Amino acid sequence: MRSISALAVCAFLVSTSFTEDAQLRARAFEMVERAHDSSVPNQSAPIINETVLAFHALDADGVMREGSYTRVFAGPTGMRQEFTSANFHLVQIDLPDRVAFIGTTHVLPPEFREMLKLIPIQLWRLDQEDVVREITKKNRKGVEAQCIEFDTIRGPNTFNNELCYDAKTGAEIYSRTGNIELENSAFFDFGSAKLPSHIMLYRNGTLITEVQLTRRVIAGELSPDMFTPPPAADIGVRCQTYRRAFGQSMPQPTAGNGATVTEVVVHAVIGRDGKVSEAAIEDSEHPDLNDEALKTARSWTFTPATCNGVPNTQEANLEVRFQGR
Q: What single DSSP character describes residue 30?
A: H
Q: Amino acid letter at 206? A: T
Whether residue 281 is found in the same domain as residue 257? yes
pTM: 0.85
CATH of the domain at 280: 3.30.2420.10
Average pLDDT over residues 218-229: 91
Average pLDDT over residues 10-14: 35
Range of the domain at 214: 1-238
pLDDT at 31: 97
Checking DSSP bridges between strand 122-125 and strand 130-140, what pairing results, if any?
A: unpaired
Examine the fold and report which residue of 238, 262, 292 is the final residue of a domain before the chain moves on.
238
Whether residue 205 is found in the same domain as residue 91? yes
Residue 294 has φ and ψ, to the nearest 5°, of -65, -45
Whether residue 155 is found in the same domain as residue 287? no
Count of beta carbons in the 10 Å neighbourhood of residue 70:
15
Whole-angstrom Cα distance, residue 214 to residue 120? 10
Average pLDDT over residues 90-103: 95
pLDDT at 1: 67
* Residue 295 banded pLDDT, cuts 50, 70, 90: very high
Bridge partners, residue 69, by sequence: 53, 83
Convert 262-316 into a string of H (helix), E (strand) and C (coil). EEEEEEEEECCCCEEEEEEEEECCCHHHHHHHHHHHHCCEEECEEECCEEECEEE
Whether residue 214 is found in the same domain as residue 178? yes
Bridge partners, residue 271, by sequence: none
Give CB contacts under 8 A, 24+ apart, made by 89-95. Answer: 93/227, 93/229, 93/233, 95/227
pLDDT at 12: 35
pLDDT at 149: 96
34: helix, strand or coil: helix
Whether residue 4 is found in the same domain as residue 88? yes
pLDDT at 13: 35
Examine the fold and report which residue of 189, 221, 238 is the final residue of a domain before the chain moves on.
238
Summarize pLDDT for 305-323 with one digit per residue, the tens: 999 999 999 999 999 999 9
Lowest mean pLDDT among 82-96, 145-159, 188-202, 238-252: 145-159
Whether residue 209 is found in the same domain as residue 175? yes
Task: Choose the most confident range, by mean pLDDT, from 12-16, 59-63, 256-260.
Answer: 256-260
Neighbouring residues of 8: CB distance < 8 A, sequence distance ≥ 6: none
Cα 110 to Cα 82, 116, 225, 287, 310: the distances in Å are 16, 10, 30, 15, 28
Examine the fold and report which residue of 179, 210, 238 is the final residue of a domain before the chain moves on.
238
* Residue 59 banded pLDDT, cuts 50, 70, 90: confident
Lowest mean pLDDT among 48-52, 126-130, 272-276: 126-130
Whether residue 115 is found in the same domain as residue 213? yes
Whether residue 258 is found in the same domain as residue 197? no
Average pLDDT over residues 233-246: 93
Whether residue 71 is found in the same domain as residue 181? yes
Task: Choose the most confident range, by mean pLDDT, from 145-149, 219-223, 253-257.
Answer: 145-149
222 has a pLDDT exceeding 70: yes
CATH of the domain at 161: 2.50.20
Q: What single DSSP character describes residue 225?
A: G
Yes or no: say if 89 and 240 are a contact pair by the CB < 8 Å rule.
Answer: no
Average pLDDT over residues 24-39: 95
Average pLDDT over residues 231-241: 91
* Residue 256 banded pLDDT, cuts 50, 70, 90: confident
Whether residue 60 is found in the same domain as residue 132? yes
How many distinct helices (H) and strands (E) make up the chain?
3, 23
19 has a pLDDT exceeding 80: no
Yes or no: say if 283 and 225 are a contact pair by the CB < 8 Å rule.
Answer: no
Whether residue 214 is found in the same domain as residue 255? no
Yes or no: say if 236 and 262 are a contact pair by the CB < 8 Å rule.
Answer: no
Whether residue 247 is found in the same domain as residue 234? no
Question: What is the domain count for the chain?
Answer: 2
Sign of the torsion angle spanned by Cα atoms 207, 169, 41, 221: negative
pLDDT at 216: 94
pLDDT at 7: 43
